[in-house]
């Protein structure tokens, strides 16, 4: 058994890696609802196109696809359909396809009318999105050629801030359920009641670089634990800093007019409690799109710098594993349900104890109709000495840091909102603090979900080493 495993590993190391990339436009028509704020609004202008950016790698035995799509969060049902179509066309097993959302807040919804309902038929945009993701994967397969890969990491601490804060005693921390939290999300810049951030940040920008055997850039997959930047006018469609980063990398590498096109993609790391706002103050006010341009340019510059220091390999271990994990969902109490019904029975303009209590009352009643247990998809991918984990939540930064610390690989990063969109994934201690990301309706999975996911992913990574 050991001899066979060793021979198989040697055989893999002798094979020439192949890679191909492509980008499919997934921009919706004007008039589609933009989500990301409390109230969806129709799109009136397209500032920049949205894309599903695709990379396919093949070592002669294993073939994997990675897709990063400009959307706030795509339901598993949509991604399962995209993977089914891509698999039928290309022969790629569905369990070797990773599709993640960037979490731009200026794109149309791919969650349908009820984000908790995965059984509803796909609507027109969801159908279009699944088709275009499948198209991109097939086009990337069509572009396969002998290739080399390298990996590395840079650091940019100045653009990431923990958005959950402890506040001074006496600060109003009521929540939509009539209770009191211990922390506040987005407490306001320069708020005199700020005490200290409720957690760390992760400044690392990890990346995978792919080039042809002759040295022509093919693709670059980066990962930064920054939620999104924003600063977009109402009604504008934009890929946020994720899209601007892709353009900037093409410019820095001098490949804007290359054929086949170079594809840069920025995946969302563990940024569930991280954003680009320095609540302690001192940030300069910038016009629309100004701040995201600054962030994109600085992230791209740091990746470009780190690119000069990496080694490339034309044959590497390439392995991807997938596992489904069953998690319990949180159920509203009888008191919560009664309170929600009472709130919704009042006139819409009636005084509220919390500005969001009506929204969360609606969500409580929706959650009552959801199943008590849900299967989620987890993936682990090895590319040489780089490990990538994929989680279908907006993952808290502490979880990503723990996976990096516990991983046996030199470089590890986590892609959030991958293969589904299930709301926030706080740690157990953060559940105890409360706050927006833990509210039932923003988070709907068991309190122990995070440690179960971390343990599962670490067990998946270990055999890949």
The rounded distance, in Å, linking the Cα atoms of 335 and 322 is: 39
The predicted pLDDT at position 14 comes to 63
Phi and psi at 413, nearest 5°, equal -140, 160
Q: Would you state the structure tokens that stand for residue 299, as one six-digit string? A: 């992230």
Compute the distance between CA of residue 158 and CA of residue 107 in angstroms, rounded to an integer: 26
- pLDDT at residue 94, rounded to an integer: 98
Whole-number Å distance between alpha carbons of 69 and 265: 9
Average pLDDT, consecutive stretches of 10 residues, N- to C-terminus, the chain (465 residues): 35 77 97 87 96 97 97 97 97 97 94 78 95 98 98 98 98 96 97 98 98 98 98 97 98 95 98 97 94 98 98 97 98 96 94 93 93 97 98 98 98 98 97 98 97 98 95
pLDDT of residue 119: 83
Q: What is the pLDDT of residue 117?
A: 76
Q: Contacts by 112-117 with C-beta closer than 8 Å and gap 24+?
A: 112/75, 114/366, 115/73, 115/75, 115/421, 116/366, 116/367, 116/369, 116/370, 116/444, 117/369, 117/370
For residue 280, give Cα distances in angstroms to 132, 147, 162, 204, 283. Answer: 42, 46, 11, 22, 9
pLDDT of residue 35: 87
Q: In angstroms, rounded to a whole number, what is the distance separating the alpha carbons of residues 393 and 332? A: 20
Distance (Å, rounded) from C-alpha 5 to C-alpha 426? 39
Plot region of 19 (φ>0 → left; ψ -120 to 50 → alpha; else → beta): beta
């Amino acid at each position: 058994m050991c001899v066979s495993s060793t021979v198989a590993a040697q055989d893999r190391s002798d094979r020439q890696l192949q890679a191909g990339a492509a980008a499919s436009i997934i921009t919706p028509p004007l008039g589609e609802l933009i989500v990301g704020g409390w109230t969806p609004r129709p799109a009136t202008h397209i500032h920049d196109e949205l894309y599903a950016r695709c990379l396919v790698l093949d070592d002669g035995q294993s073939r994997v696809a990675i897709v990063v799509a400009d959307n706030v969060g795509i339901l598993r049902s949509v991604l399962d359909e995209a993977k089914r179509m891509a698999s039928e066309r290309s022969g790629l097993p569905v369990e070797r396809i990773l599709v993640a959302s960037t979490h731009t807040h200026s794109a149309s919804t791919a969650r349908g009318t009820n984000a908790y309902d995965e059984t509803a038929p796909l609507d027109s945009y969801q159908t279009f999105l699944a088709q275009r993701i499948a198209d991109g994967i097939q086009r990337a397969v069509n572009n396969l050629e002998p290739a080399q890969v390298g990996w590395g990491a840079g650091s940019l601490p100045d653009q990431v801030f923990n958005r959950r804060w402890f506040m001074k005693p006496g600060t109003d921390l009521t929540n939509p359920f009539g209770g009191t939290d211990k922390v506040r999300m987005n407490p306001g810049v320069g708020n005199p009641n700020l005490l200290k951030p409720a957690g760390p940040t992760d400044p690392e920008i990890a990346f995978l670089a792919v080039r042809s055997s002759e040295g022509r850039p093919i693709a670059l997959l980066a990962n930064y634990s920054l939620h999104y930047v924003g600063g977009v006018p109402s009604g504008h469609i934009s890929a946020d800093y994720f899209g601007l980063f892709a353009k900037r990398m093409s410019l820095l590498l001098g490949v804007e007019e290359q054929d086949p096109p170079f594809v840069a993609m920025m995946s969302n790391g563990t940024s569930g409690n991280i954003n680009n706002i320095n609540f302690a103050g001192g940030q300069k006010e910038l016009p629309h799109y100004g701040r995201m341009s600054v962030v994109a340019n600085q992230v791209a510059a740091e990746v470009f710098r780190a690119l000069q220091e990496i080694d490339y390999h034309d044959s590497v271990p390439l392995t991807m594993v997938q596992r489904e994990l069953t998690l319990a969902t949180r159920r509203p109490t009888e008191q919560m349900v009664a309170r929600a019904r009472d709130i919704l029975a009042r006139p819409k303009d009636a005084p509220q104890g919390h500005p969001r209590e009506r929204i969360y009352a609606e969500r409580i009643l929706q959650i009552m109709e959801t199943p008590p247990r849900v299967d989620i998809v987890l993936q682990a991918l090895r590319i040489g000495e780089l490990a990538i984990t994929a989680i279908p939540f907006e993952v808290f930064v502490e979880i990503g840091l723990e996976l990096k610390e516990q991983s046996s690989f030199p470089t590890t990063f986590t892609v959030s909102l991958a293969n589904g969109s299930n709301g926030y994934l706080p740690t157990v201690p953060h559940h105890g603090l409360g706050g927006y990301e833990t509210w039932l309706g923003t988070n709907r999975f068991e309190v122990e979900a995070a440690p179960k996911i971390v343990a599962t992913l670490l067990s998946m990574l270990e055999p890949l080493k």
